Structure 1
Amino acid sequence: MNELHVDGLTKSYGSEEPVLRGLELTVPPGALAAVLGPSGCGKTTFLRIVAGFLHADAGTVRLGDRILGGPGVHLPPERRRIGIVPQEGALFPHLSVARNVAFGLTGVERTERRRRTEEMLDLVGLAGYGDRMPHELSGGQQQRIALARALAPRPQLVLLDEPFNALDSALRAGVRSDVRAALRATGATAVLVTHDQQEALSTADLVAVVRDGRVAQCDTPQDLYRRPANPWIADFVGDAVLLPGTVDGDGTALTALGPVPLATPPNGLRAGTVVLRPEQLRLIDAGSEGVVRGTVTDVCYYGHDAMVTVAVEGHDTPVGIRVAGPLPVCRGDEAGVRVVGEAGLHP
């Protein structure tokens, strides 16, 4: 079994405030988990402790039935059966692609080493590239070779340290898809450390949001987006519309956008922050009966959709509305706003 368990991980540097404050995380066997958070939240420290490059002040790291680090225990990195894919590939420039991939196969018989190298190159879609040098590859190809190198020794766990940062946006999605397919083909458990929300949601089976050295929420991408644990997570993971609201007697919240049905009972809350997503708002004709009226303050067009910002009465911050298809409004137009679906309510 290659389930990763991290319990009570704590780490500080000298006299500074702790970077990790009892971080807890479980990654099921064969799953790809994204550790997502803003700069300085502790995600890189977490990765380096799991890899064995740092000692934790407290807590335990367990992979399957093996304790990698804990009270009185610290396995060195080379004994952890962990593969690492660093930023920008970090291939050895003086070694061929095949020798880069085979680098970690020490003690493996030559024929088997060659066979496994060819297998890994085929797995990442670069069969026949073994004789090339790293400088002859594109950035995306170098990242796939770095993954092949990490997978060749058949690790129980693969750690990916923001491996797509150096790639342009057109290439990034394709390489992410290739990496995910290769990981699933080998059955390795994997942890992707990233600050890119879109990357985490589109790539991982689980997303753990880290804030101030703790996991604030760990869930599937869909549940994390649809049911964030608090307004901060809602605003950090994707775009959010946050409105003050008071609870009506029939399980709705009264807001500046009108009454909004609540997804779960308010559990005694009489007021709080209502959380909506921009795709839950609709632009309609300002003259329609019973709508909330506002003025379009900005339009950001992305091709597949657009974000239209509307200032409405009774709310200090303009709300964002995601619009698909042809743009029905321009900046300065009057527009009506209507809410569809249910919202979350938080203290």
Structure 2
Amino acid sequence: MTELRIEGLTKSYGPQAPRVLDGLDLTVPAGALAAVLGPSGCGKTTLLRIVAGFLRADAGSVTVAERVLSAPGVHLPPERRRIGTVPQEGALFPHLSVARNVAFGLTGVDRTERRRRTDEMLELVGLSGYGARMPHELSGGQQQRIALARALAPRPALVLLDEPFNALDSALRAGVRADVRTALRLSGATAVLVTHDQQEALSTADVVAVVREGRVAQCDTPEQVYRRPADPWVAGFVGDAVLLPATARAGGTAETALGVVPLAEEAGAGRGTVLLRPEQLELTEQASTSAHGTVTDVRFYGHDAMVTVTVEGLAEPVDIRAAGPVAVKPGERTGIRVNGEAVLHRPAVTDHAVK
């Protein structure tokens, strides 16, 4: 089973330089696609380069399928790690045909097997019959799929994808992501996708690892990371968040400026910060609820709209995601209703959490 296990990974780029990775731990189950998500400078690319063997870690270990690739006194070179890499923008060899690009890593096999495996990989990524073409004859999305086929052809123990969809326009990106995800699942490969795109991570991966300041702040399924974030920083990074000062009460509820809301878990009495998502808030008639506010902005996105409302007792306005046509306009009063459960975090937002 091709499980990736990273333990205590540490890396800095000089004796006096701050740590880019600071004791990072991460386990990716065999056959899973894990997205490593985080802001610029958090250590995502450094992590990928250490796993691939292009960089040496200062401390910690990397193990794939129970095989130690990196540890104190151990550093297998990249060519011995059985890891496939899909870089940004495909990086195909421009002077080689599509078929020869895919077959590039198939060393030590006879011509018949090389041709069979190449055809198999082209079919896997939905480009059967494209073998004779040159890279410049392909679209950006097709080049990325060929890069994946090239990475999968040698049957690697692990596939690393380094922000491979960045160069694609938004209309093409979703389709190529779906194609790549399907191909990885059909191949049974374990894979790690490095990205700073929250939507990409949540919609593509089986597991999402949110990295902050060189450590994994939370690693879980996309749904759990979104609905049950580890702290307010994670909540705000993976999606739009409504954070409200709250007083938790016995019985699993909390009192907020938007009224009493049910909590996902019993938290006991005390103060904290309640997390809600904008889609949990609903615009209503003022007479139907005790929570009211003044609309300050309406942003239309086609499939929905984001309505910003100032509420008495709150220092910051709240965002409400509304489906369909929005009747309210800036300057108008509105009622607000909370739907579903909230997550309570203690302590309240700290300086570290809002960096």
For Structure 1 versus Structure 2, the TM-score category normalised by the shorter chain is: over 0.9
**Aligned counterpart, 1:141:** 142
Tell me the amino acid that sits aligned with residue 171 of structure 1.
L
**Aligned counterpart, 1:162:** 163
**Aligned counterpart, 2:330:** 331
Deviations 1:204-244 (A, max 9, x none): 00000000100000000011111011111011111100011
**Aligned counterpart, 1:282:** 282
Q: Which residues of structure 2 form unaligned runs of 5+?
A: 347-355
Instruction: Choose 297-306 or 95-104, whichever is displaced more.
Output: 297-306
Pairing of 1:120-199 with structure 2 (within 5 A): 120-199=121-200
Tell me the amino acid that sits aligned with residue 188 of structure 1.
A
d(CA) in 1 for partners of 2:56, 2:251: 53
Tell me the amino acid that sits aligned with residue 13 of structure 1.
Y
**Aligned counterpart, 1:319:** 318
Q: Which residues of structure 1 form unaligned runs of 5+?
A: none
**Aligned counterpart, 1:234:** 235
Deviation at 1:332, TM superposition (A): 2.1
**Aligned counterpart, 1:115:** 116
What value does the CA root-mean-square deviation take over the aligned residues?
1.0
Q: Please say if 1:84 is aligned against 2:85.
A: yes
Tell me the amino acid that sits aligned with residue 292 of structure 1.
A
- TM-score (norm. length: structure 1): 0.98
d(CA) in 2 for partners of 1:60, 1:123: 33
d(CA) in 1 for partners of 2:30, 2:248: 42
**Aligned counterpart, 1:273:** 273
**Aligned counterpart, 2:207:** 206
**Aligned counterpart, 2:51:** 50
Deviation at 1:260, TM superposition (A): 1.2
Deviation at 1:246, TM superposition (A): 1.2
Does the 8 Å CA contact 2:29/2:190 hold for their aligned counterparts?
A: yes
Q: Please say if 1:24 is aligned against 2:25.
A: yes
**Aligned counterpart, 1:252:** 253
Tell me the amino acid that sits aligned with residue 290 of structure 1.
T
Deviations 1:262-282 (A, max 9, x none): 111114x51011100111101
Deviation at 1:196, TM superposition (A): 0.4
Does the 8 Å CA contact 2:289/2:336 hold for their aligned counterparts?
A: no
Tell me the amino acid that sits aligned with residue 297 of structure 1.
T
Tell me the amino acid that sits aligned with residue 280 of structure 1.
Q
Deviation at 1:21, TM superposition (A): 0.6
Does the 8 Å CA contact 2:288/2:335 hold for their aligned counterparts?
A: no
**Aligned counterpart, 1:218:** 219
Q: Please say if 1:294 is aligned against 2:282.
A: no
Three-state SS of the structure 2 residue aligned to 1:19 is strand
d(CA) in 2 for partners of 1:98, 1:327: 52
Aligned residue pairs: how many? 345
Three-state SS of the structure 2 residue aligned to 1:62 is strand
Deviation at 1:248, TM superposition (A): 2.7
d(CA) in 2 for partners of 1:169, 1:220: 24
Tell me the amino acid that sits aligned with residue 4 of structure 1.
L
Q: Please say if 1:12 is aligned against 2:29.
A: no
Deviations 1:29-74 (A, max 9, x none): 1000000000000011000000000000000100012100001111
d(CA) in 1 for partners of 2:194, 2:265: 32
Deviations 1:118-140 (A, max 9, x none): 11111111111111111111100
d(CA) in 2 for partners of 1:329, 1:202: 31
Three-state SS of the structure 1 residue aligned to 2:183 is helix
**Aligned counterpart, 1:75:** 76
**Aligned counterpart, 1:106:** 107
Deviations 1:162-190 (A, max 9, x none): 00000000000000000000001110100
Tell me the amino acid that sits aligned with residue 331 of structure 1.
P
Tell me the amino acid that sits aligned with residue 293 of structure 2.
G
Deviation at 1:340, TM superposition (A): 1.2
Three-state SS of the structure 2 residue aligned to 1:188 is coil
**Aligned counterpart, 1:340:** 339
d(CA) in 2 for partners of 1:64, 1:23: 19
Deviations 1:304-328 (A, max 9, x none): 1111111111111110111112222
d(CA) in 1 for partners of 2:250, 2:291: 22
d(CA) in 1 for partners of 2:134, 2:23: 44
Tell me the amino acid that sits aligned with residue 333 of structure 1.
E
**Aligned counterpart, 2:353:** none
Deviation at 1:256, TM superposition (A): 1.1
d(CA) in 2 for partners of 1:97, 1:88: 15
Deviation at 1:290, TM superposition (A): 3.5
Three-state SS of the structure 1 residue aligned to 2:233 is helix
